Copies of this chain bind each other. A is one copy, B any other.
Amino acid sequence: MSLHISQQFNTDLETVRNKVMTMGGLVETHVQSACLALIEGDAVLAERIVENDFKVNAMEVSIDEQCTNIIARRQPTASDLRLVMMIVKTITDLERIGDEAEKVARMARELAEEGGASGNFPEIRHLGDHVRKMLHDALDAFARMDIEAAILTAAEDQRIDQEYESMVRQLITRMMEDPRCIKRSISVLWAARALERIGDHSKNICEYVIYLVKGKDVRHTTVEQLQKELHDKQ
Contacts and interface: CB of A to CB of B under 8 A. Distances in A.
Interface of A: 54, 57-58, 60-61, 64-65, 68-69, 71-72, 75, 77-78, 81-82, 85, 88-89, 92, 168, 172, 175-176, 179, 182-183, 186, 189, 193, 217, 219-220
Contacts of A179: 175-176, 179
Contact of A92 (B92, B183, B186): B92
Contacts of A219: 57, 60-61
B57 A82 contact: no
Contacts of A217: 61, 64-65
A186 to B, nearest CB: 6
Contact of A182 (B77, B88, B176, B193): B176
Given A219-B57, A220-B57, A168 B193 contact: no
A168 B186 contact: yes
Nearest to A171: B186
A54 B175 contact: no
Contacts of A60: 219
23 contacts: A54-B220, A57-B220, A61-B219, A61-B220, A64-B217, A68-B81, A68-B85, A69-B78, A71-B81, A72-B77, A72-B81, A85-B88, A88-B89, A89-B92, A168-B186, A172-B182, A172-B183, A175-B175, A175-B179, A176-B182, A182-B182, A186-B189, A193-B193
Contacts of A89: 88, 92
Contacts of A58: 220
A224 to B, nearest CB: 16
A165 B219 CA distance: 32
B182 A175 contact: yes
Contacts of A175: 175, 179, 182
